[in-house]
Amino acid sequence: MVSKNTVKFIKSLHRKKIRKQEQLFFVEGAKNVTELLLANFAVHQLLHTDKFRQQHPMLVEQCKGETLLVTPEELQQMGTFKTNDTALVVARMPDPDEFVVARGELALALDDIRDPGNLGTIIRVADWYGIEKIILSPQTAEIFNPKVLHASMGSFCRIRWKYADLLQVLPQSGVPIYGACLEGQNVHGLALKEEGVILMGNESRGISDELMPLVHHKISIPKFGTAESLNVAIATAVICDNFRRNKQFSNPTVPI
Amino acid sequence: MVSKNTVKFIKSLHRKKIRKQEQLFFVEGAKNVTELLLANFAVHQLLHTDKFRQQHPMLVEQCKGETLLVTPEELQQMGTFKTNDTALVVARMPDPDEFVVARGELALALDDIRDPGNLGTIIRVADWYGIEKIILSPQTAEIFNPKVLHASMGSFCRIRWKYADLLQVLPQSGVPIYGACLEGQNVHGLALKEEGVILMGNESRGISDELMPLVHHKISIPKFGTAESLNVAIATAVICDNFRRNKQFSNPTVPI
């Protein structure tokens, strides 16, 4: 049985303030926990059920942090999931990453994406489309928010990110900045090169006025129906797909 | 002030069982409420704040249902939103729609999409891409779930849908069935025609085994990175974008 103090401590990590203070965060569920254990994180505690140990004996055995056998009920008491019969892991936040966007590279920049689900989904999208670097404005959702980590489906382990003032860092990259907006050039009509930073704006107001002058190319997803807009994670995916589509085929070749 | 009975009644509509029994549902927030009031729904009750009435005086005046002036606190007490300083409307469920997918038309079929947020986002995507008809398997999330309606951002007013056994109705449509899966043909390499039903599978298991024989073309979104999969609403959007992209441009023409 897990101690009251452990329960209390993990519950305290639901709060951003405590996560920051302790420099610890947690993830839940088999998918995210196994991805984290296989990646390069310093594990503080692994709380797992008997089922999880039977499915992943080596991961539990080789874990360098404290390991505790718990029940699904205990996991549900500590975590944010309604049901969790596998594991929860507490890990140390990595040191802030430092990177620049290189020539010939495609990266993302997020201007105040507030919804944790959207941020997590965007991380998963970036990982699918082979986009390794994401620059996050300071007002973007916190990456260690449990909802972000959950929506990322393990992809947070494979993406590099940094929080930075976009007004400062975007001009430093020597690549084109593409700004997604409602009145840009139709991406279907552009021969997009796989180099640059794709800038996605806030859910309500889009790209902020002060960042607009940094954008070299305003781009838009064409609308064929009547919805006012697309969700920002959806728009990110469609734009990434348009950037990557020229990689393999210059023209659609197979009639169907 | 709103009566205790009204509060109690609207709170009871949070439950699917009561919605079905009463044949009533509710939507919240300015965007969804205004879209519903402008569309062809039978309004039962419109609960609005002073702010909403000032912004939309004609909508309140011309409303054929009962109208009640309420406070934001009362709206929050009755609804599902943390904050709502505009309106909540209770409306009658429309009669079940009957339609077939015509030649030259693009439609969606959803095989057990369980997450309400995903269903709502897919409805919004369909509305953006000019896809008017969606066929939902009986196990797909209920369209009148408040989370579905919220995520659809008003698009539920413009889309036609029906719940039906896909095994029965898919063969009846005389158009090709495209099944989205992980081991299909790369959509970037296909000259897709804008005719057919795009079948999207369940979040965990994909398209069910019994439906697979009905699929004429298995299609996939190519992966350039390492994520295991994409969220189903994201995948729907990317596939719709690929179907629609030939509408305006046979080839990307503008170098950028």
* pLDDT for the residue numbered A1: 80
Residue scoring higher pLDDT (A207 or A251) = A207
Q: Return the pLDDT at B248.
A: 57
pLDDT band at A255 (very low <50, low <70, confident <90, very high): low
Least confident of A18-22, A190-194, B49-53: A190-194
State the pLDDT confidence band at B101, using cuts at 50, 70 and 90: very high
pLDDT band, very low/low/confident/very high, at A173 (cuts 50, 70, 90):
confident
In the predicted structure, residue A250 carries a pLDDT above the cut 80: no
A185-217 pLDDT, tens digit each: 999 999 899 999 999 999 999 999 999 999 999
> Which DSSP letter does residue A196 get?
E
Q: Is the pLDDT of residue A133 over 80?
A: yes
In the DSSP assignment, the letter for residue B228 is S
| Pair of tokens at residue B63 | 């409303």
Q: How does pLDDT run across B143-164, given as a tens digit for each residue?
A: 999 999 999 999 999 999 999 9
Shortest Cα distance, chain B CAs vs residue A5, angstroms: 31
Contact criterion met (CB < 8 Å) for B225 and A190: no
Kindly provide the ipTM of the predicted complex, given to two decimals.
0.93
What is the CATH topology of the domain spanning B4-92? 60s Ribosomal Protein L30; Chain: A; (3.30.1330)
- Give the per-residue pLDDT at B40: 86
Nearest Cα to Cα of residue A233 among A108, A104, A105, A106: A108
Residue A151 has pLDDT above 60, yes or no: yes
Task: Give me the residue from A192, A226, A237 closest to B234, CB to CB.
Answer: A237
Please report, for residues A228, A252, B162, B169, the alpha-carbon distance to residue B134 in angstroms, rounded to integers and kept in the order given.
19, 27, 7, 12
Interface of A with B in 4-63 (CB under 8 A): none
**A 160-219 residues inside an 8 A Cβ radius of B:** 185-186, 188-193, 217
Cα–Cα separations (whole angstroms), residue B223 to A129, A159, B165, B191: 6, 15, 31, 19
Cβ contact B152:B123 at 8 Å: yes
Question: pLDDT at position A40, please?
Answer: 86
- 10 Å CB burial of residue B227 (0-12, 13-18, 19+) is buried
In the structure encoding, which two tokens stand for residue A170, read together?
A: 């975007």
Q: How many CA atoms are closer than 13 Å to the CA of A236, on its beta-carbon side?
A: 34
Using CA atoms, how far residue A220 sits from A230, B86, B221, in Å, is: 11, 31, 20
Q: Does residue A107 belong to the interface with chain B, where contact is any CB pair within 8 Å?
A: no
In this predicted structure, the answer to whether residue A253 has a pLDDT above a threshold of 60 is: no
Q: Which residues pair with A92 in a beta bridge?
A: A24
List pLDDT tens digits, range B123-132.
Answer: 999 999 999 9
- Whether B192 sits inside 8 A of A248 (CB atoms) is no
Decide: helix, strand or coil at residue A186: strand
- pLDDT for residue B254 is more than 90: no
Q: pLDDT tens digits for A88-123?
A: 999 999 999 999 999 999 999 999 999 999 999 999
pLDDT score recorded for residue A251: 54
* Intrachain domains B4-92 and B106-244 with the same fold: no
A106-244: in CATH 3.40.1280.10: yes
How does the average pLDDT of chain B come out, rounded?
94
pLDDT band for position B1 (50/70/90)? confident
pLDDT tens per residue, range B185-216: 999 999 899 999 999 999 999 999 999 999 99
Verify whether the Cβ–Cβ distance A158 to B188 is below 8 Å.
no
Q: Which tens digits make up the pLDDT trace of A62-82?
A: 999 999 999 999 999 999 999
Residue pairs between chains A and B whose CB atoms are closer than 8 Å:
166
Q: What residue ranges do the domains of chain A occupy?
A: 4-92, 106-244
In angstroms, the CA A244 to CA A192 distance is: 8
Cβ(A87)–Cβ(A52) below 8 Å: yes
Contact B228/A255, CB-based, under 8 Å? no
Identity of the residue numbered B133: K
Residue A1 distance to chain B (closest CA, Å): 32
| Alpha-carbon dihedral A14, A18, A23, A28, rounded to 10 degrees | -10
